[in-house]
Amino acid sequence: MYEGLPGHKRGLFFVVAVCVIFMQAGLWAGRRETRDNFPDNTLVKTSSLIPFVKSDARPSIKDHPIPKLMVDAERNFRERLSRQSKTLPDAVAEYKRRYGRNPPRGFDRWWQFVKDNDVLMVDEYDAIVEDMTPFWDIDGRELRERASAAGHLPSIDLVRVRDSNATAVNIRDGPHAEVSARARGFLQMIEKFQDQLPDIDFPINAMAEGRILVPWEYRRYPNLTEASISNLLSGAFTPDWRGEGNVWEAYRRTCDPSTPARRLFSSFRASSTSQNRTSQLTARNHEFVFARYTNGNYSFCQNPWAHYNQGHFFSDWRTIPVLFPVFSPAKASGFQDIRIPSHYYYAQTRRYTYGWDPVNLELKPVDHMETPWEQKTDMVFWRGASTGGGSSPPGFAAQYQRHRFVRMASDESWTNRTIVFADPPSSTNYIATQVPIGSLNEEIMDIAFVKVVDSFNYPGGIGALIRDHRFDDGGVNLGDHWKHKYLVDIDGMGYSGRFFSFLESDSAVMKATVYREFFEGWIEPWLHYIPLSSSYQEIFNIHAFFSGATPSTLKAANSTALGLSPAKRRPLDGDRRLRRIARAGKQWKRTMGRRVDMEAYIYRLILEYARLCSDDRDSMNFTL
């Protein structure tokens, strides 16, 4: 198309064309107002990081945003670690400064525990206080009654402490009914501390999904709660929706009446209040916008259309509309469950634990299937079941998070993606080109389902599910993941239970989630793992930054680097930076994601909860 143009005009035309491409792809998104839809700490504002400059008539990008993200992450984490309290008086003072009250009784023994076990994060327990805050409005007697009553609800077990001895029971189904693995895991976690607790009940969520969704009106007018509790315990509360509703309708009721989620028609589309304002529906398609965090800052109340893309809104299991103190391993924004460490993280099993030897029943420092970094592939790897949500209402499985990811990575079409890469590879001169997604997927993506789950919920049934997604019939062991430098971690029915094992490997983890877990104040995205947006659109450019341009990318750009050996096509320091993330993740797991760190979290949580359940909370304070 350029044959008839003089050389200098061809160069100018190319610059203009690429600039237009990048404007469409979102590289100049920072010029548009996005504040109403994206919190400032959620996405990188790329306009200030990626100014275009002219270099030999080719478009180049002065600064790639990923190095700055990594530098900022390391600085933030080091600063947080360095300011942790060194003494008990320091810890008490910091507690008072943060929360405006004295710590709970037993805080001195908790402090001794964390010091004896070299726990590094001794002040970062905001998650506990956040989860407990709503219960300060309920007196101790009422809270104890609600905890006991919760055991009569479906899929809620009780871990009961009586006379300093803890047991797990299933009240609803009878004394001989089996309790859930989550209740058994929690029982193990508190075993060391049970003799320090009063008689108390811990309602444990037996399901992976969050359970507590309290309507806005109930929070505003607490007198509505008593009647609701009576209805729940009358026997009319069924364990699943059974066509009577769904999680999204329950979730919408938690939103302020003024939000788009409570307005009927705005739930179906993203609104824009200004011609120059970019909606989140548009922003999610950006291929060069990198997430700072994976969760916690996203408002489905403000962006109700986005619920179609997350399977937890279609769970079969009924949520609970009353503020019961239910302990769950994770929760999405808007839920009011109390977070506890996952039993998958705490237990030691072949499916979820790095380095576990199932024959000798012992934990080894290096998994027997671990592969040296230099021998790992540069492929982006994921395997899992075709789960991700329920069937209430049916017909939405195609948009669940796992299905969207596998379908994107299975795309064999000629649809173009905008790829940014260093050219020449040894430089920091970044250029852009358009590459068919089918070629990219063949070169860098090794993504597949290994198990068919709930195929009836997929539009068209099992035939359509298999047609639209790649399936690997061979299946994989946990250790098979260690053959690859990039491991993707994506939500299933709830949070992903493999995250800690992935971190402990010598591979770099790319994580996308809407769930918030107990450790969110202890870990740093872009230092210990790579956060992914829920659209996954940026994954190709993440790979290009660390591992370099693929052959199809170099060919599309007519780059001279196409003649180089694969090793010399790697960008300057890209592989070293990726390995740094992998090593930092492993170091974090071995110093802050240990079983004893989870016990430190649980220990502090149960002290807070015991105070809340007391008739005289002031008497349960700790003072020096």
Domain boundaries, the chain: 7-64, 365-592
The predicted structure's pLDDT at residue 300: 92
The predicted structure's pLDDT at residue 139: 95
Long-range contacts (CB closer than 8 Å, 24 or more residues apart) made by 554-559: 556/419, 556/433, 556/434, 556/435, 557/421, 557/423, 557/431, 557/433, 559/423
Token pair for 208? 């992976």
Q: Tens of pLDDT along 105-151?
A: 999 999 999 999 999 999 999 999 999 999 999 999 999 999 999 99
**Most confidently modeled range among 59-63, 469-473, 590-594:** 590-594
Q: Where are the beta strands (DSSP E) in 85-199?
A: 156-162, 165-169
Is the pLDDT at 32 greater than 60, yes or no? no
Is the pLDDT at 41 greater than 60, yes or no? no
- Per-position DSSP letters for 579-595, written without gaps between them: HHHHHHHHHHHHHTSSH
Is the pLDDT at 256 greater than 80, yes or no? yes
Of 314, 361, 312, 360, nearest to 337 by C-alpha is 312
> 168-181 as b/e, with b when 16 or more CB fall inside 10 Å?
bbbbbeeeeeebbe
Number of H helices, E strands in the chain: 20, 18
Spell out the residues 6+ positions from residue 339 whose beta carbon is closer than 8 angstroms to its own. 127, 128, 131, 327, 328, 329, 330, 331, 516, 517, 518
Which of 91-105, 236-250, 255-269, 567-581 has the lowest average pLDDT?
255-269
Mean pLDDT of 496-516: 96
The predicted structure's pLDDT at residue 57: 37
Which of 104-118, 292-306, 411-425, 578-592 has the lowest average pLDDT?
292-306
Contact 329, 182 (CB under 8 A): yes
**In a 3-state reduction of DSSP, which class is residue 161?**
strand
| Signed CA dihedral, 219, 224, 227, 232: sign only | negative
Average pLDDT, the chain: 86
The predicted structure's pLDDT at residue 370: 96
Residue type at 245 in one-letter notation: G
- Determine the straight-line distance between the first and last CA of the chain, rounded to whole angstroms: 79
Contact 82, 88 (CB under 8 A): no
Residue type at 412 in one-letter notation: E
Is the pLDDT at 40 greater than 70, yes or no? no
The larger pLDDT score, comparing residue 349 to residue 92, is at 92
Token pair for 288? 């060069």
Of 169, 152, 149, 150, nearest to 160 by C-alpha is 169
CA distance 225 to 93: 36
The predicted structure's pLDDT at residue 296: 58
CA distance 287 to 289: 6
The larger pLDDT score, comparing residue 130 to residue 2, is at 130
**In a 3-state reduction of DSSP, which class is residue 165?**
strand
Category of 109 on φ-ψ map: left (φ > 0), alpha (ψ -120 to 50) or beta: alpha
The percent of residues above 70 in pLDDT, for the chain, comes to 86
Of 334, 297, 300, 130, nearest to 212 by C-alpha is 334
Of 329, 277, 332, nearest to 300 by C-alpha is 332
What is the pLDDT confidence band of residue 27, given thresholds at 50, 70 and 90? very low
Is the pLDDT at 154 greater than 80, yes or no? yes
- Residue 200: phi and psi, rounded to 5, are -160, 155
In the sheet that holds 430-436, the strands lie side by side as 52-55, 58-61, 430-436, 416-422
**In a 3-state reduction of DSSP, which class is residue 183?**
helix
CA distance 612 to 135: 7
Distances (CA, A) of 180 to 86, 154, 160, 299, 515: 39, 12, 14, 31, 21
Is the pLDDT at 33 greater than 70, yes or no? no
Residue type at 598 in one-letter notation: M
Place of tokens 């195609």: 398
Long-range contacts (CB closer than 8 Å, 24 or more residues apart) made by 220-228: 222/137, 225/322, 225/323, 228/321, 228/322
